[in-house]
A and B are shown apart, each in its own frame.
Chain A
């Protein structure tokens, strides 16, 4: 069976405030879908309705075609999830917490033992296996939570900003764990407000803002579609670039649609066309003998869109 998650008209109102507004979204197949949106967009609200922590005001959510609202037990059986930062009974150890999860999921004792060891290793908590969770830091608890979500080797994984509460190194580790998950036959639905995280680990992206889905597509399509026929490139030179040089020599190159100055030595150029034009521009800039020291795409297309779409409402 193809793993899938589907929201049909999923809506959540808190009194008169609409946190999620008629979300219609279906994701399926073995891949990682990033659920991207700024803080307060409604990501956690959505994921809580996929795990039956809260109830929709309207609409329904499905995991592998099974309604979460009608049969949470059957729907969640194939699913490992981590929403916000749950707490484990403080006097239990990671081993016991995983034992409990595994037993409730109907795993056999040998399975629980071997999988516990594997997932604790994966989240680098092996040496804490028999220490009480109550004394752990937030980051350590979150690692155990991640381990618990992966314990049954689930086909659908729902993660709500899994790297929150972790230090930068921990965040990087979580990203690599999520990337590792993609090897299996598995659908990963991960929320994040950090664009680079989504670009880094996901195949698809669904962008949510103020409770509304703006779009959902593959990262490749988003880049192509939203990038249009210009892309933004930043060039840095060894010495300050004079205005006249910038306007006459750089701005007049056929590949440059427009230009702006970032600072004395750095300029941002909008490049017409695709990679071929970008390569030609690089050659030409280099041949100007002005001491070009770096040349790179300044923002991904998705980043452009994220900032553009999200900032519209802020005005």
Chain B
């Protein structure tokens, strides 16, 4: 039996007696797993749903611009990008995170696919990382489609020349990716917390669509402090490379009342997103490591 064993590979385990093959390292396994997971996503109805949402949002924005032809947008690439991409990206990233990531871990329990994977010689972190990678790639593919629609608009109104100065758009895209990472960490945390996909999806959707904006208003109204700790607040920085950085604290006086408006700084935004990414990703992993396939 040991005669037909494959030569040991870097990072692999030095055991091969008793089965064909030498088990690859954790990272190599995670990448392999993500490839098949991604294949499943790309063939699934949820991918069609996500693409439909992207196309719908893209079509609505394109139609609005075509109908109103707002001056300042159709003659300035950054303004156009700022409005279309800056407005739509965070929203679509939220959908991608929920649609692809909501059941990433919970679904392994609910659909019993985890029983197939966990019988294999791999660590739990491999499953977690593999699924994370697959969700990331599927989300990025969807977001890139939206970016293409936005750039297509710019090319239509401003000519191919406008595609030349994509530096700021690229910066904005990078910030959007950071937001995606942070959001996915958050989604994976809840996906690991529940064994039913629907709960994970509902909790994240409700928090982002309503919960956070309520918290934000309440915090502002009661304490007047900046809600820097909310992902849905700091994600505003995605548009900054295109629109410029607004004043961190803006006070407006209407009659006798003073209204304070906050906008996150780059530093705040990046730090908070990184913080979310690390804490929620690790928290979700710790939960998954302890969860039993009963």
Contact = CB atoms under 8 A, between A and B. Distances in A.
B15 A77 contact: yes
Interface string A82-93: 111111111110
Contacts of A185: 1
Contact of A84 (B113, B115, B122): B115
Determine the main DSSP class of B at the interface with A.
loop
B219 interface: no
A86 B18 contact: no
Interface string B1-31: 1000010010011011111111110000100
A266 interface: no
A80 interface: yes
Interface stretch (B35-43, B85-93, B230-238, B245-253): B35-43
A86 B109 CA distance: 10
B118 A105 contact: no
Given A53-B293, A104-B29, A106-B23, A76 B120 contact: yes
B19 A154 contact: yes
B21 A73 contact: no
A6 interface: no
Contact of B113 (A86, A96, A152): A86
For A74, A82, A89, the residue with the greatest tally of chain B CB atoms inside 10 Å of its CB is: A89
Contacts of A111: 6, 20-21
Nearest to B120: A104
A92 B40 contact: yes
A156 B1 CA distance: 13
Contacts of B113: 86-89
A162 interface: no
A123 interface: no
A236 interface: no
B125 to A, nearest CB: 10
B121 A76 contact: yes
B294 interface: yes
Interface in B37-64: 37, 39-40, 43-44
Given A108-B6, A111-B21, A48 B293 contact: yes
B121 A74 contact: yes
A189 to B, nearest CB: 14
B76 interface: no
Given A86-B116, A104-B33, A64 B21 contact: no
Contact of B19 (A55, A103, A148, A155): A155
A111 B20 CA distance: 8
B119 interface: yes
B123 interface: yes
Interface of B: 1, 6, 9, 12-13, 15-24, 29, 32-33, 36-37, 39-40, 43-44, 111-116, 118-123, 290, 292-294
23 contacts: A1-B18, A52-B118, A53-B292, A55-B292, A72-B121, A72-B123, A73-B121, A76-B120, A76-B121, A77-B19, A78-B18, A80-B19, A87-B113, A100-B36, A102-B21, A105-B19, A105-B23, A106-B24, A108-B6, A111-B6, A153-B1, A153-B20, A154-B19
